[in-house]
Structure 1
Amino acid sequence: MTEPLIIGAMVRTLGAYPSGWRQPGAHRDPAEDAAVLRRIAAEGEAAGLDYLFFGDWLATGPDLEFRDPYLLARIDPVSAVLYLAGLTSRIGLIATVNTTYADPYATARQLASLDVLTGGRAGVNLVTGAEPRAAGNHGRDAHADNETRYDRAEEFVTALRRLWDSWDDGAWIADPERGVLIDPQRLRGAGLQGTHVRVEGPLNVARPPQGSIPLVHAGTSPRSRALAATEADLALIAAPDLGSAVRTRDELRAIAAEAGREPDAVRVIAPVLPVVAETDADARGIVERLLALVPLAEGHQRAREAFPANRTIEALADALGLAPDDPARAADFDEPVAVDAVARLGGQGAALVERVARIAGVGVGTRQPLTWRHLVAAHAVPAAFVVGDAAAIADHFETWRDEGAADGFNVLSAYQPAQFEAFTRLAAPELRRRGLLGRDGDTLRDRLRITSRVDA
C-alpha cells in the first residue's frame, strides 16, 4: 500500500494572497493573531495534518502592504510554535530560523526545549535570508553574499546536530540511593571551531526526544539545492507546474545520491494554494473576488509609497509585447477584454487568458466577462492556485504524487480562517478517503519517516 503524502500547513495569519485580508470575515489584525493561531492549530490537528509551518522575514516596510501583506507584522516563528506547544498534542511544529543572523547555541537550545515540551514534535526550517534590510536590523552594514551565507549555514547545521547530541541515551541516571544524577562520560561538547560558527557546548537541555530534530530547507541557487539535498529532511521547492516539479525533485535526489545519501531520504515538498468550496463554481467565484480585490494603480493607490510598478495595463501590455499604439493600452481596468484584443496578446497572453478563465470562471464574451482587471491582477500576483471542490483538490494531490513531482505539500490559504477551514473540512476528508492523508507516528520524525543518520 502506498504511503500517505506528507501534508502540512504553511501558516500566514493575514492570508497567503495579497487581497485575501479584504475578504468578508477574514482575519486582518495581527494584534489578534493569538486567537486565529489557536483556531488554525485546532483545525490542522483535527484534520490529521502532519505539521504547522511558520516562515519568517526579518524586516518590514510599506512596500510589503501590496506585495506580501502577511510579512508586515507577524509573530516570531519560534514564539509561535512554543505558544502552540501546549495547545496541541499530535501535530508537528516547524519554525524558521535565519542562520545568517541567529546564534547556533540559542537556536539549538530553543528547539531542543520545544522538542522536550512537545514529546518530539519540533522541526526547524533553516534559511539564509533574502531581505537586505535585515542587515541593518542586526547591526551589520550589508547582507552577506550567497556563498558566505551558505558557508555559515553548513557550519550552523553541524553545530545544531553536535549540540543536540550533547547527551547520549542513558546519560541521565538519577539514582537517589547512590547519589548519582548523570554519567559524565556520556555528556560531551560540540567542539566546533569553524570559519563562521564557533560553539563549545555541551547543550544545557536534555536530549531531544527525536535525537536530531528534522531539518527543512528551501531555495533555488546551486548552494541552496546542495544544502537541501545533502542535509535537509524536507526540501521545499517552488515549481510553477508539474513538469518543473518533477525535474526539480529528480535533481535534488540526484545531488543526494552523488553525495552518498539515500535519495529517498530527501522528501520534496511543493507549495499549493487550494481555493476550496462545496462546488467548483463557488470556488472559482472566490478566486474571481480575490483577483478583483488586488490593489491596482488607480485612484489613490497610484500615489502610495512603494506601490508596485507592474499593476497597470501598460505594464501588462509591455510584458505581453503589445505594440506602443495598441488600443488595449488605453482600456479601463473594468472594461471587458474583447476577442480582437485577445488575438493580439500572443501566446503568453493566450495562456494567461486561459488560466484566468479556468481558475476564476470568467471568459471573453461570456456572462461572466473577463476584464483587464482580472488579467493585470493574475499576471502581477501569480499564485499556485488549485481551484474546485474536494475532489478537484484531491485529484491535484494524487496526480503530483503519481507523476513523481512531490512527496507532499505545504498548504497555503488565501485568507484565514475560512479558506483553511474549507480545506480541513472539505478537502482533507477526501484526501484521507483516498489514502493521501493520515500518517501515523508519535514524533514528527516518525511521521516523516526520517531514518537515523550519523552526523559529524
Structure 2
Amino acid sequence: MTDHLILGAMFRAVGAYPSGWRFPGAHHDPRDDAAVLRRTALAAEAAKLDYIFFGDWLATGHDLEFRDPYLLARIDPVSAIAHLSGVTERIGLIATANTTYFDLYTLARLTASIDRLSDGRAGLNLVTGAEPRAAGNHGRDAHAPNEHRYDQATEFVDALTRLWDSWEDDAFVLDQGTGTFIDPDRLHRTDAVGEHVRVTGPLNVARPVQGRLPIVHAGTSPRSRQLAAEAADLALIAAPSREAAVQIRAGLREAAASAGRPSGALKVVTPVLPVVAPTRALAQDIFDELLRLVPLDDGSPLSRSAAFPANRSVASLAGTVGTELGAAGLDDAVPASVAAAFNDDGQRLIELVASRTRRRVGGDLPVTYRHLIASNAVPAAAVVGSSSEVADHLESWFTSGAADGFNVLTPYLPAQFDAFTHDVVPELQRRGLFRTEYEGTTLREHLGLPVPANTHTVDELVDARG
C-alpha cells in the first residue's frame, strides 16, 4: 500500500445516485454543469485529493433518465480536464477514453498536450465500451465482441505509450549558436503495426511531463483484469465485501508480478458512495429521502414509459424476495409475517435498508415496500453515517489490504461533497491516513508512481545487449 490512502473524486454533475438531482438544493441542470464542475474541482483540490475522475458513456437515451441521469448529457471528459488544467494547480485530472472508438494518434496528442499544460497532472482511464448505440454514433454497423475489443485495447495501450515516448527527454538541444534545435537520433517513429492498430508517428508533442500518463482501467472479466495487471497503474474494482476486495486486489497484484512488473506498480481503488451528516441518524434520514425520491412503478405517466425499468414494481420485488406480495402498496409497511417468509436475498435487503435508514420491520419507523424496491433496483456502494463512521469504513478497507484507496461517488452536489471534504477528509488526516499537503506536483507523484523509462531507449538497450 501507499503511505496514505488514495482518494479521488468521481465527478457526476447531477449526482451519482439516480435520485440525487431531486434532493432539495442539489445541482440538477446539465446546462449549468460548468459552474459545479469548477466548484467541485477546487473543493477537491482544497482537500488535497489525489485526482478528480471523469467517466464517459458514448450514447444517450430516455432509459438513462431512470437508471443513470448523469449520463444523459455531460461534458466530454478530455475537454473537462483540459479546462480544469487552467483552473486548478495541484490536483490530478483523469479523463476516460474508449479504445474502440478513439483515434489513437489524436488521443496521444490530446493527452500529452494536457499533461504539458497541467504541469504533469493528467491521467487516462481506458475503457473498451459496452454500449451498442455507440457503434451507430461512430459510423459502425455493430459493436465489436468482447475478445476483439480487448485484443485491440492491448495493442492500443502499447502503441499509445510508444507515441508518448516519441521524444526522448534530452532530444531538444536548443543550441542557439549553432542553430541545432533537436538531436534527430532522439526522435523516434512508433511503427506500431498490429492486427487492430496501426500508427507510425512520431508524436508532434514533447514527451509528457510524467513520461507517460498514469493509465487507469476497470472491469471484472478475466481479459479486463489481465489488461489492468499488465498495463494499468490504477485498477478500479467493485467488490461486494471487504473480504472479496482483499482477494481481488491480491489477485491483481499477483498477476502484475507475473507480468514482470515491480511490487507496488499497480494500485487498486474501489468506489464508495458516502452519505455524511453530523450524526448517523441524520445521515440515515438523507439516505431515506434518496430512496423515497427514486421513481417507482406507481401507475403514473412517467412509470408507464416504455423506457421505465422493469425492476421497480411490487411484482419485481416479489420475484427477488421469493414470496407473493399480493396487492401491497408502495408505501405500505412490510408486516413481520410477510418479512419472515422472505428468502435470503430478501432478508439481506431488509438488513440493508435497516442499516442505511433506521427503518425496522415492525418498528416505529417501519420498512416499506418502496424502500425495499428502491434499494434493490439501485445498488450502490453506500456508506451512511457520521464523518467518523465513514472514516472507520475507509480505514478498515485500507488497513486490511482490500484497497489502496477509493473513488468517491457523491449522491448529489454540492452539499454531500462538501460534507465529505470538510468532515471526513480532516478525520482521515487526524488519523494519519491522508496527506495534509501535497508533497509532489504530478499525478504520478500523488499516487507514488515513478516516471517510467522511455520505451524506445529501453528497446535500444536490449538490442545493444543482444
Q: State whether TM-score is above 0.5.
A: yes
Does the Cα contact within 8 Å between 2:234 and 2:269 map onto a contact in 1?
Answer: yes
Q: Quick one: which of 400, 418, 426 aligns to 1:403? A: 400
Please name the residue that 1:343 is paired with: 340
Q: 2:125 aligned with 1:128, yes or no?
A: no
Distance 2:7 2:439 in 1: 12
Please name the residue that 1:33 is paired with: 33
Letter in 1 for 2:448: R
Please name the residue that 2:305 is paired with: 304
Unaligned runs of 5+ in 1: none
Unaligned runs of 5+ in 2: 460-466
Instruction: Give the secondary-structure state (helix, strand or coil) at the position aligned to 1:302.
Output: coil
Does the Cα contact within 8 Å between 1:441 and 1:447 map onto a contact in 2?
Answer: yes
Distance 2:131 2:245 in 1: 25
Please name the residue that 2:463 is paired with: none
Instruction: Give the secondary-structure state (helix, strand or coil) at the position aligned to 1:53.
Output: strand
Distance 1:435 1:84 in 2: 29
Does the Cα contact within 8 Å between 1:269 and 1:409 map onto a contact in 2?
Answer: yes
Of 356-365 and 410-419, more deviation after overlay is shown by 356-365
Distance 2:29 2:314 in 1: 31
1:366-424 Cα distance to aligned partner (Å, 9 max, x none) = 22221100000001111000011110111011100121100010000001111111111
Does the Cα contact within 8 Å between 2:166 and 2:187 map onto a contact in 1?
Answer: yes
Please name the residue that 2:421 is paired with: 424
Please name the residue that 2:189 is paired with: 189
Please name the residue that 2:447 is paired with: 448
1:174 CA displacement: 1.8
Please name the residue that 2:149 is paired with: 149
Instruction: Give the secondary-structure state (helix, strand or coil) at the position aligned to 1:400.
Output: helix
1:42-84 Cα distance to aligned partner (Å, 9 max, x none) = 1000001000000000000000000111010000000000111
Does the Cα contact within 8 Å between 1:273 and 1:385 map onto a contact in 2?
Answer: yes
Q: How many residue pairs were aligned? A: 452
Give the 5 Å matches for 1:181-330: 181-298=181-298, 299-322=300-323, 326=324, 328-330=325-327
Instruction: Give the secondary-structure state (helix, strand or coil) at the position aligned to 1:301.
Output: coil
Distance 1:81 1:61 in 2: 25
Does the Cα contact within 8 Å between 1:254 and 1:263 map onto a contact in 2?
Answer: no
Q: How high is the TM-score relative to the length of structure 1? A: 0.97
Distance 2:420 2:276 in 1: 6
Distance 2:249 2:170 in 1: 39
Letter in 2 for 1:444: L
Please name the residue that 1:376 is paired with: 373
Letter in 2 for 1:193: V
Q: 2:3 aligned with 1:6, yes or no?
A: no
Distance 2:243 2:69 in 1: 30
Seq. identity, %: 60
Instruction: Give the secondary-structure state (helix, strand or coil) at the position aligned to 2:243.
Output: helix
Q: Quick one: which of 408, 413, 420 aligns to 2:410? A: 413
Instruction: Give the secondary-structure state (helix, strand or coil) at the position aligned to 1:61.
Output: coil
Q: 2:15 aligned with 1:18, yes or no?
A: no
Distance 1:346 1:141 in 2: 44
Distance 1:261 1:182 in 2: 33
1:2 CA displacement: 6.9
Distance 2:178 2:315 in 1: 81
Letter in 1 for 2:304: A
CA-based RMSD of the aligned residues comes to 1.3
1:262 CA displacement: 2.5
Q: How high is the TM-score relative to the length of structure 2? A: 0.95
Distance 1:126 1:148 in 2: 15
Q: 2:135 aligned with 1:138, yes or no?
A: no
Distance 1:205 1:4 in 2: 33
Please name the residue that 1:158 is paired with: 158
Does the Cα contact within 8 Å between 2:284 and 2:384 map onto a contact in 1?
Answer: yes
Instruction: Give the secondary-structure state (helix, strand or coil) at the position aligned to 1:273.
Output: strand
